[in-house]
């Protein structure tokens, strides 16, 4: 009797969940390197909420903030093998895994953030997205990450000011050649280690945008932020390709729409937060130093292009596409 009743109940519950479409199709773990208060943290929470809403709870995302699931290069590998499902990643550390993604890591390749978005949303972006998807890192939307500039105890006005400095960079050979081209000593290092390294003199300088300069306290251990704006690196919401393709077409469309809406939200948060972060670090005593003429940096860093394109002639098409995009 009991068994019969429970079987009937189970049947009714299954029918109900099918009717409501409430069966969970996927539960995803999401990686985010940033803490509370950084615009990308708000945007990733929004992505999880919008995904739940638009998929009627069929795709659930739990976001792990503050890099607790590992360093960025590790987390990227985890997404590629499907141990983590999705995340907000900088395109910088994706370059060593997907050559096409390296376009955005060539110094001064973009004229401005709007130019970067035009390139990423055009033919070059399509080529990059396809190459990333083939490596199990499918981009669903692009985030703004502003421009990266150098910071150190001293002001940096010319390439000569970088000479001899130990400069922390993200994990990508293009950044090590970029620093070498300026006469500095590049030091690739995880984001979580940079503050301590600056404090103890393991490195003399680093480079990042205002929100990250502020949010992890790099401004507490340097005095000058010099507006070189040498890299404009977009970020993505990237998902394991196979996990995404395992969803029904409707669910794929819903998750993609959630990512795109979250990215628009991120760009709004970014615009406000980047100004605020600059004002906050200035109020804390940081000198923000305008560089009157960036040409000497561009000229010195041209060596990065020469070396890279000689070793990767296939990348010429993408570089020309970006450079000819208005
Ligand atoms: C921040 C990016 C983050 C990077 C970090 C870094 O948002 O993904 O890990 O820079 O420099 O701007 O490592």
State yes or no: pLDDT of 13 exceeds 60.
no
At residue 15 the predicted structure's pLDDT band, cuts being 50, 70 and 90, is very low
State yes or no: pLDDT of 24 exceeds 80.
no
Residue 191 beta carbon below 6 angstroms from any ligand 1 atom:
yes
User: Does this chain's domain 26-145+234-276 share its CATH topology with 148-232+287-324?
Assistant: yes
Quote the pLDDT of residue 25: 85
Domains of the chain, residue spans: 26-145+234-276, 148-232+287-324
Tell me how far the alpha carbon of residue 26 lies from the centroid of ligand 1, in angstroms.
28
Ranges of beta strands (E only) in the chain are 26-31, 59-64, 86-90, 138-143, 148-152, 166-169, 185-188, 205-208, 224-231, 235-239, 287-289
Q: Whose alpha carbon is nearest atom 3 of ligand 1?
A: 90
Residue 170 beta carbon below 6 angstroms from any ligand 1 atom:
yes
Quote the pLDDT of residue 23: 63
Per CATH, the homologous superfamily of domain 26-145+234-276 is Bacterial extracellular solute-binding protein, family 7 (3.40.190.170)
Task: Give per-residue pLDDT as tens, 94-116.
Answer: 999 999 999 999 999 999 999 99
At residue 8 the predicted structure's pLDDT band, cuts being 50, 70 and 90, is low
State yes or no: pLDDT of 17 exceeds 60.
no
Q: Structure pTM?
A: 0.93
Residue 209 beta carbon below 6 angstroms from any ligand 1 atom:
yes
Ligand 1: residue of 33, 34, 96, 234 to mutate (most ligand atoms within 8 A of CB) is 33
Quote the pLDDT of residue 7: 46
Per CATH, the homologous superfamily of domain 148-232+287-324 is Bacterial extracellular solute-binding protein, family 7 (3.40.190.170)
Query: Distance of CA 67 to CAs 23, 73, 86, 180, 281, Å?
Result: 30, 11, 13, 29, 23
Average pLDDT, the chain: 94
Quote the pLDDT of residue 308: 98
User: How big is the chain, counted in residues?
Assistant: 326
Q: Whose alpha carbon is nearest atom 9 of ligand 1?
A: 191
Cβ(227)–Cβ(290) below 8 Å? yes
At residue 51 the predicted structure's pLDDT band, cuts being 50, 70 and 90, is very high
Three-state DSSP at 298 gives helix
Q: Whose alpha carbon is nearest atom 13 of ligand 1?
A: 191
Task: Give per-residue pLDDT as tens, 149-205.
Answer: 999 999 999 999 999 999 999 999 999 999 999 999 999 999 999 999 999 999 999
Cβ(175)–Cβ(169) below 8 Å? yes
Task: Give per-residue pLDDT as tens, 208-239.
Answer: 999 999 999 999 999 999 999 999 999 999 99
């Amino acid at each position: 009797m009991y068994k019969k009743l429970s079987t009937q109940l189970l049947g009714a519950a299954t029918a109900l969940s099918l009717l409501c479409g409430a069966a969970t199709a996927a539960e995803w773990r999401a990686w985010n390197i940033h803490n509370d208060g950084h615009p990308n943290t708000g945007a990733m929470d929004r992505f999880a909420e919008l995904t739940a809403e638009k998929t009627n709870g069929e795709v659930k995302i739990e976001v792990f903030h503050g890099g607790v699931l590992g360093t960025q290069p590790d987390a990227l590998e985890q997404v590629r093998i499907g141990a983590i499902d999705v995340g907000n990643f900088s395109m910088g550390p994706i370059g060593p895994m997907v050559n096409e993604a390296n376009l955005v890591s060539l110094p001064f390749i973009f004229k401005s953030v709007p130019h970067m978005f035009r390139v990423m949303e055009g033919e070059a972006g399509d080529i990059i997205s396809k190459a990333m998807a083939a490596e199990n890192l499918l981009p669903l939307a692009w985030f703004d990450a502003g421009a990266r500039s150098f910071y150190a105890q001293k002001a940096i006005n010319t390439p000569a000011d970088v000479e001899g400095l130990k400069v922390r960079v993200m994990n990508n050979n293009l950044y090590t050649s970029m620093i070498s081209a300026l006469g500095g000593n590049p030091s690739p290092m995880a984001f979580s280690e940079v503050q301590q390294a600056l404090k103890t003199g393991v490195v003399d300088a680093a480079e990042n945008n205002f929100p990250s300069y502020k949010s992890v306290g790099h401004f507490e251990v340097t005095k000058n932020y010099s507006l070189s704006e040498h890299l404009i690196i977009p970020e993505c919401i990237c998902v394991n390709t196979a996990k995404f393709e395992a969803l029904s077409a409707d669910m794929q469309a819903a998750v993609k729409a959630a990512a795109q809406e979250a990215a628009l939200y991120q760009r709004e948060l970014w615009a406000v937060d980047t100004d605020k972060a600059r004002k906050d670090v200035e109020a804390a005593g940081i000198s923000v130093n305008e560089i009157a003429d960036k040409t000497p940096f561009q000229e010195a860093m041209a060596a990065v292009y020469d070396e890279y394109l000689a070793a990767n002639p296939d990348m010429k098409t993408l570089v020309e596409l970006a450079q000819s995009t208005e």
